[in-house]
Structure 1
């Protein structure tokens, strides 16, 4: 621990009655659970009436930006859902059997947490809407190549998947205590509007090893993009902003290009929050590249004139389970205008679904080819001088593709139908639970 390394006296964060060994699993001299440990209504009364309020209080009297302050913020947004103290006692005993001491144990716990977030997304439950496939995030990071000492920002961070994966990418590069301190405290920044997503994101970063995450709960779009100063800007932006949300009319006034599409407002925000020379990778609906409305066209022109949009990754259908839209990833660097765009059409060779999600191998070729902008059957260049200035259409049109798409195999079609049926059944079941 830090105290053992510095010689400082260790001061426990929690008062005695609220430590795990005091209330959750008090032991006798043999190391077994004492018979007088709280259970039933007494346990529920303690957790709901004493423990949670104690943790919430951290927000008011613990130094801001510390681990304790984050505990206060987390517990301010949650309540005890257990009604049976006997069920809670069983859960506490199961948790006590887990170990979180070594890096390997912590890594396993963070993997378990990520899996649960993913499952929430597959079942259409709260929290899962904030889940971006981790193989896609890792590929985006490998292309952007963040460096130690740079700041990384996600203004729609959800479950903080981009920030967690960026931390995992940078952590092996750390060579000193000072570098680790900077990575922990002055590298990763996020903002999130929704309370549940904010809590999930903070917990996710803590489990990955970031003790006091720099995530703020706020509506990013309330910030006027004309008011940003250099201190507000970042070296790297990684994000998957929400599609199709609705914002109040006064919020749209914060942006030079007025639009009702939330993702397009976020894209304007990201362009302004990026430092000159900074790099970004942003997931967005593929229709952004071709929409004929004035706002979409103006935003494409703004992006390509203020930034070098050097790469567009065209993602296959069902990359995002349950989303129902096709997406692209925009890779750009701020400061020089775009001359040509390298497109890559991702084809995993199978229909994606719950049982066949995107994996790291699917994206290996993209990352490899992108490093040299290699042309192939699925990758090509579009010169901006060849784009129709009236429509400014940048849509994905593979010049190497055959005129007609090959017919799909019956087995593939049946598998996709089965996947869709299963997803529909799970969504209906979830709706039934909410109505029960």
Structure 2
């Protein structure tokens, strides 16, 4: 709570508390968001975990049930971190260095007892470790020591984090505690920080989840989950703001433990994703730590029992990366392009009749000059029904340090794509101070149920496009076959001439030239046919209904404008001369 004991009733009041914590961490050797967010993650996580366990203990006592805490004394937040706690006071009074010795380890005190971080990391190694203990160990896995420079700064952070609890935040007026943490992740994703690659703008996530409309009983998967934004938003969507969508305790248990699955490679981001999902209320985040594309695992203990395929996949896979042969060897269509391999992974891991909402870059949609791009999109359109593509405005990912033009692609596995409904959002000007917001999707959601055509929406008939391409390519295929047969005949003639005695050099040279010419003509014709057929898989959004902008100004209007601008320039020059 605030120092005066009142609840934080405005977003501004919560933001100020979080900013105060970040300011302390910045002065304490954690300069950028990529430094202080991971540090604050494990601290905030232990604080909230302690609060959750205390609530569970009280609930168990109320019904006379046994309760076993995940963390024992003196390693609970309430023992060592809470202001005024007996053990924290004892550590502080023993002199400088004792707080860090207890936290960092490997041991503390005269008895060389196990310190906090080693204790937490070893929880998952216990023979009877619970799912929550495994999560705790993984959240702490990348923390080797406190990064804040002094014990005084560290204790100041602990004091302020202790004040930000669910009891301190009036969630009837401001957002929930999980959204406080999302605000921190947003800082990490801002331009200039290195975390943009792991962060998807929240309005994009909300739109995708709303379109896919996941329900209780379905499994949700993100193969490159970053900070866990898609999984967290899906949980919020499936429960409702006040759990009003939950029909039974069993439904809630399924959502909290058996619904959400993901993979993340980055050592810093993986524990952040775990903490984010825990703070959103997912008791068992089933996250796999390792390289999705090579299948090299860092830690897979939380992913045990994963289904072979999933009902729903929500993802914003990395784009622009280059993968090596280890990753490519796992896929049918080999390429160094990360996003193409991820799309192949998504198709393979989606159940029949499963639904997917995915962010794909413009390059993947329109490129037809590389086999892996074409074949991956052909498989997508042949094995899945791509029923909607939303063309996002430029700049949506710019605040996250990524200026790539992107699209939202929605599909259902098990049916061939016949028609794609497109929606165009590219007219929206997205800047840092004017980001994409929910109202920008209002018209899209209004038209989506019936997939109506408008100035911003249209259909592309894939069946018609395939049919037209086949007709256009057919003459070139026949031409290629004709030249190939001729090349084969000249090749046989060439063999005969080379066997003949005496050899006739002029005849051999003529046959070789003819064979090469026919083979080249066959390749050119086949290449032209392939180019026509591959063009079917250029899925870039090109709005045919867009009204052209016509400049209706007369020559006199333009002259008046030039004259007015001239006067403005003259005034500025006069002012500068003075």
Q: TM-score range by the shorter chain?
A: 0.7 to 0.9
Is 1:301 matched with 2:378?
yes
Q: Residue by residue, what CA displacement relative to the aligned partner does 1:374-423 show, whole Å, maximum 9, x if unpaired?
A: 1100100000133342422222111111345989xxxxxxxxxxxxxxxx
Alignment: residue pair count: 400
Is 1:401 matched with 2:466?
no
Residue 320 of structure 1 is matched in structure 2 by: 397
Instruction: Name the Cα RMSD after superposition.
Output: 2.6
Measured in 1, the distance between the counterparts of 2:235 and 2:550 equals: 40
Is 1:383 matched with 2:528?
no
Q: Residue by residue, what CA displacement relative to the aligned partner does 1:1-35 show, whole Å, maximum 9, x if unpaired?
A: 35246532222222211122322135379xx9789
Cα offset, 1:85, TM superposition: 0.4
Residue 190 of structure 2 is matched in structure 1 by: 122
| Partner SS, residue 127 of structure 1 | helix
Residue 48 of structure 1 is matched in structure 2 by: 104
Assess, with a 3 A threshold, how the Cα gap between structure 1 residues 179 and 127 changes in structure 2: closer, same or farther: same
The higher radius of gyration belongs to: 2
Q: TM-score, normalised by structure 1?
A: 0.85
Measured in 1, the distance between the counterparts of 2:352 and 2:375 equals: 21
Q: 2:81 aligns with which of 24, 31, 37?
A: 24
Assess, with a 3 A threshold, how the Cα gap between structure 1 residues 38 and 347 changes in structure 2: closer, same or farther: farther
Cα offset, 1:100, TM superposition: 3.0
Cα offset, 1:286, TM superposition: 1.1
Measured in 2, the distance between the counterparts of 1:405 and 1:326 equals: 26
Give runs of aligned pairs for residues 167-206 of structure 1, distance below 5 A.
Answer: 167-172=235-240, 173-206=245-278
Q: Residue by residue, what CA displacement relative to the aligned partner does 1:97-145 show, whole Å, maximum 9, x if unpaired?
A: 2223589669632111111111111143243321101111111111111
Measured in 1, the distance between the counterparts of 2:339 and 2:394 equals: 19
Which protein, 1 or 2, shows the higher relative CO under an 8 Å CA cutoff with sep ≥ 6? Answer: 1
Deviates more, 1:239-248 or 1:384-393: 384-393
Measured in 1, the distance between the counterparts of 2:158 and 2:550 equals: 55
Aligned 8 A contact 2:78 2:85 in 1: no
Assess, with a 3 A threshold, how the Cα gap between structure 1 residues 343 and 109 changes in structure 2: closer, same or farther: same
Assess, with a 3 A threshold, how the Cα gap between structure 1 residues 167 and 348 changes in structure 2: closer, same or farther: farther
Aligned 8 A contact 2:394 2:426 in 1: no
Assess, with a 3 A threshold, how the Cα gap between structure 1 residues 255 and 38 changes in structure 2: closer, same or farther: farther
Residue 253 of structure 1 is matched in structure 2 by: 329
Aligned 8 A contact 1:188 1:213 in 2: yes
Residue 71 of structure 1 is matched in structure 2 by: 136
Q: TM-score, normalised by structure 2?
A: 0.65
Is 1:88 matched with 2:154?
yes
Is 1:3 matched with 2:3?
no
Measured in 1, the distance between the counterparts of 2:94 and 2:446 equals: 57
Measured in 1, the distance between the counterparts of 2:231 and 2:551 equals: 39
Measured in 2, the distance between the counterparts of 1:121 and 1:383 equals: 38
- Structure 2 residues not aligned, in runs of 5+: 1-55, 106-114, 297-304, 470-532, 553-578
